[in-house]
Amino acid sequence: MRRKTVLDHWISQADQALRVAAGPAPRNTQPSPSAGRPDHELTEAERRHAVGLMRVNHTGEVCAQALYAGQAATARSARVRTEMADAAREEEDHLAWCAERLDELDGRPSLLNPFWYLGSFSLGAVAGLAGDDWSLGFVEATERQVEAHLASHLDSLPAPDERSRAIVSQMKEDEARHADMAVEQGARSLPAPIQGLMAVTAGFMKAVAYRI
């Protein structure tokens, strides 16, 4: 069997980027939390708002795939690479659930997903190069911010939209678990200014993805 070269690795990364950012939704391995929930009729304003929020969540999952891929590509230990790969596989389910719900709401993903993927992959690669403890710290900080963001969506989603709420609630639980995993594996807490910059960047992404 031919050994994989560096070129093979980066071709594989490019293929993954195209599939996540521009391809069809991945097939979920776990049933959507919305299964069996009633699909109540929404007003047009409620539907548009739900679409905007679920588009943001879908973009967030695209970014999560990119971050984990970038961190795995530059991780220094096989253990951390495995942890990143396992978390990324679970995020694929989140991506599939959000894509499915967007389709049900007659919505679409963000047109800027390829841009979001590239930027997030680069951030993940830089975090990985800084060392495994810093990379895990980046995971913890990111997931804590995502957990808070999803909590705000649970407050903002239209009350009748039980299907979206079920998805967001499960995602929130999973992201909290990813943050705990990073701490258990030796995450180093990121400096407050870096966490603040991460929050500002995420806020920009959410504001743009809600509309575009």
Tens of pLDDT along 1-10?
555 554 444 4
Specify if 67 maps to a domain.
Answer: yes
Tens of pLDDT along 104-137?
999 999 999 988 988 888 888 888 888 888 888 8
Specify if 172 maps to a domain.
Answer: yes
> What is the C-alpha separation between 64 and 87, in angstroms, rounded?
9
3-state SS string for 108-142: CCCCCHHHHHHHHHHHHHHHHHCCHHHHHHHHHHH
Q: What is the pLDDT of residue 159?
A: 92
Here the CATH number for the domain that contains residue 88 is 1.20.1260.10
What is the number of structural domains in the chain?
Answer: 1
> What is the C-alpha separation between 52 and 40, in angstroms, rounded?
18
Specify if 70 maps to a domain.
Answer: yes
Tens of pLDDT along 31-62?
889 988 988 889 999 999 999 999 999 999 89
Specify if 33 maps to a domain.
Answer: no
Specify if 4 maps to a domain.
Answer: no
Specify if 122 maps to a domain.
Answer: yes
* Confidence (pTM): 0.82
- Other beta carbons within 10 angstroms of residue 212's beta carbon come to 10
Specify if 32 maps to a domain.
Answer: no
Structural domain boundaries, residue 173: 41-211
Specify if 31 maps to a domain.
Answer: no
Q: Which 3 state secondary structure label does DSSP give 157?
A: coil
Tens of pLDDT along 174-191?
889 888 888 888 888 888
> What is the C-alpha separation between 123 and 2, in angstroms, rounded?
31
